């Protein structure tokens, strides 16, 4: 056994310049896999993760000083780009007033009001610190409100890593799920039914078999955790009808799509196609924190009043509604509410995906794209996938070559084919053109 060190290295004396490879090596000694969230480790695409030292606007720089055009945007939150001056100012001035009080603040009320004002299906909202926490709390609320245990989710949708959601489909509709993670006892997922996304027959059969026991159906309306797959309008419409008939709640997980695809979020996009459509519970995260740890869930006052301290459903958080995070979220919501914001963001995103499509077409590579607002997806296949199985059947090897080809050319896409991409308001026409040119260069070699 080696004796304990008598002196500890001062972190300030750590070498100023390390390569990404050196940092990854060092990280793996103190952090499992070298990362604090698995997909950052580049396992799906191979290679060395870039350690980011700073970011500004549409760009990030790694530890070696290499600049990348950033299409991850912290997995969605950075809709204004990095370091937007108004947001930065709001965060700095909030930090000067105090980091955390564990007591209510006016800013929490302002953020709650700002969310309610923009999303008509919500009368009350509770703020939490992560999307996982918001999704988990939404399910508890749905179960507490309905007095039922069973929940339905869809394969390929991610709603955070709460135990009951780390589950894959059982062998038939009669059997509930199996855990997808060690450490989740089978009993914990026995009430979770996993169905195929966009499959109307399956959801009808599930309600026919279990309707009286189903607390909620939870969905990513545009699934961004299987790249970019829209829930078909008839599918959403049918779920809404079935929930109404059977007294179940329809939960829209808008952690990714919320304030990303439209100011009214994905539910406003579906309301255009289905007059009067609203979900019951909505879950938000990512953009509403503007890059700070903040998430929320909300619905009608009648349902929200089941939460503690008014009702019997317990839910709490030391840092919930944190004053610095709420300042960041509020400033972000203010900026994205300016007239024309989503029109411009949507147009820029379309220019990108149309450019990628044209580059692939010119190279004769099977390729399809889709986008809504500032969120996009692309697949190496010839028709848009409708569910997880179809997404995972697209060309993985080609995606990985494309990912690394672009990374080598200074364009940073999400390092896995099942992740969505994000454009920010800071991406210029020149950034998009440079990205498309880099993509054309990579695709020509295919």
Ligand X SMILES: *Cc1c(COP(=O)(O)O)cnc(C)c1O
Q: Which residues of the chain form contacts with ligand X (CB under 6 A)?
A: 130-132, 135, 158-160, 220, 224-225, 253, 255-256, 285, 295
The nearest distance, CB 44 to ligand X, in angstroms, is 17
The nearest distance, CB 135 to ligand X, in angstroms, is 5
The nearest distance, CB 394 to ligand X, in angstroms, is 20
CB 248 within 8 A of CB 241: no
Residues for the chain: how many in total? Answer: 446
CB atoms within 10 A of CB 103: 7
CB 296 within 8 A of CB 302: no
- Is residue 253 part of the annotated active site? The answer reads yes
With respect to ligand X, which residue has the nearer C-beta, 264 or 285?
285
The nearest distance, CB 159 to ligand X, in angstroms, is 5
Give 204: exposed, middle or buried? Use CB within 10 Å, 0-12, 13-18, 19+: middle
Give residue for tokens 């289905």. 274
Determine which one of 59, 68, 158, 197 is catalytic: 158
CB atoms within 10 A of CB 170: 16
With respect to ligand X, which residue has the nearer C-beta, 36 or 272?
36
The nearest distance, CB 12 to ligand X, in angstroms, is 31
The nearest distance, CB 260 to ligand X, in angstroms, is 10
Nearest-CB residue for ligand X: 131
Partner residues linked to 421 by β-bridges: 376
Sheet hosting strand 375-379, strand order edge to edge: 368-372, 375-379, 421-422
The nearest distance, CB 111 to ligand X, in angstroms, is 16
Look at residues 285, 304, 198, 259 and name the one whose alpha carbon lies nearest to residue 424: 259
The nearest distance, CB 214 to ligand X, in angstroms, is 20
Contacts of 169 (CB under 8 A, 6+ apart): 155, 177, 178, 194, 195, 196
Determine which one of 62, 286, 306, 370 is catalytic: 286
- Is residue 168 part of the annotated active site? The answer reads no
β-pair type (281-284, 59-62): unpaired
With respect to ligand X, which residue has the nearer C-beta, 331 or 375?
375
CB 289 within 8 A of CB 328: yes
Task: Give 306's DSSP letter.
Answer: T
The two tokens of residue 162 are: 């709460």
β-pair type (411-412, 375-379): unpaired
Cα–Cα distance measured from residue 376 to residue 433, given in angstroms and rounded to the nearest whole number:
16
Helix ranges (DSSP H) in 2-122: 20-30, 85-97, 106-118
With respect to ligand X, which residue has the nearer C-beta, 250 or 367?
250
- Is residue 388 part of the annotated active site? The answer reads no
Look at residues 300, 383, 358, 246 and name the one whose alpha carbon lies nearest to residue 116: 300
Q: Let me know the angle formed at the C-alpha of 60 by 58 and 65, rounded to the nearest 5 degrees.
A: 140
Cα–Cα distance measured from residue 121 to residue 137, given in angstroms and rounded to the nearest whole number:
18
Name the CA radius of gyration of the chain, rounded. 22
User: What amino acid positions are annotated as catalytic residues?
Assistant: 158, 253, 286
């Amino acid at each position: 056994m080696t004796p304990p060190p008598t002196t500890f290295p001062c972190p300030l004396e750590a070498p100023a310049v390390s390569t990404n490879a050196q940092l990854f090596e060092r990280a793996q000694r103190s952090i499992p896999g070298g990362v604090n969230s698995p997909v950052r480790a580049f396992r799906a695409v191979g290679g060395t993760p870039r350690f980011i030292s700073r970011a500004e606007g549409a760009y990030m720089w790694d530890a070696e000083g290499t600049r990348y055009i950033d299409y991850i945007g912290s997995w969605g939150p950075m809709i204004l780009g990095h370091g937007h001056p108004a947001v930065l100012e709001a965060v700095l001035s909030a930090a000067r007033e105090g980091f955390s009080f564990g007591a209510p603040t006016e800013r929490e009320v302002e953020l709650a009001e700002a969310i309610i004002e923009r999303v008509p299906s919500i009368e009350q909202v509770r703020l939490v610190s992560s999307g996982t926490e918001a999704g988990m709390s939404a399910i508890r609320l749905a179960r507490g409100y309905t007095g039922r245990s069973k929940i339905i989710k869809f394969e390929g949708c991610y709603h955070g890593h709460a135990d009951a959601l780390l589950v894959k489909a059982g062998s038939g509709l009669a059997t509930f799920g199996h855990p997808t993670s060690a450490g989740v006892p089978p009993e914990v997922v026995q009430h979770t039914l996993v169905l195929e996304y966009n499959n109307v027959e399956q959801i009808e059969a599930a309600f026919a078999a279990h309707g009286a026991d189903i607390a909620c159906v939870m969905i990513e309306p545009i699934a961004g955790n299987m790249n970019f797959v829209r829930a078909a309008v008839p599918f959403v419409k049918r779920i809404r009808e079935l929930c109404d008939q059977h007294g179940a709640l329809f939960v829209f997980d808008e952690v990714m799509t919320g304030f990303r695809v439209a100011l009214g979020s994905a539910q406003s996009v579906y309301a255009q196609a289905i007059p009067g459509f609203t979900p019951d519970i909505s879950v938000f995260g990512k953009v509403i924190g503007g890059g700070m740890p903040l998430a929320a869930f909300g619905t009608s006052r009648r349902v929200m009043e089941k939460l503690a301290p008014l009702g019997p459903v317990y839910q709490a958080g030391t840092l919930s509604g944190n004053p610095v995070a709420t300042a960041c979220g509020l400033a972000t919501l203010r900026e994205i509410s300016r007239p024309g914001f989503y029109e411009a963001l949507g147009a820029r995103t379309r220019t990108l995906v149309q450019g990628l499509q044209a580059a692939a077409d010119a190279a004769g590579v099977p390729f399809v794209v889709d986008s809504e607002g500032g969120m996009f997806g692309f697949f190496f296949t010839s028709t848009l996938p409708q569910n997880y199985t179809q997404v995972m059947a697209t060309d993985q090897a080609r995606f990985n070559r494309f990912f690394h080809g672009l990374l080598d050319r200074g364009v940073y896409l999400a390092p896995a084919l099942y992740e969505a991409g994000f454009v920010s308001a800071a991406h210029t026409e020149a950034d998009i053109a440079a990205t498309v040119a880099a993509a054309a260069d990579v695709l020509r070699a295919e």
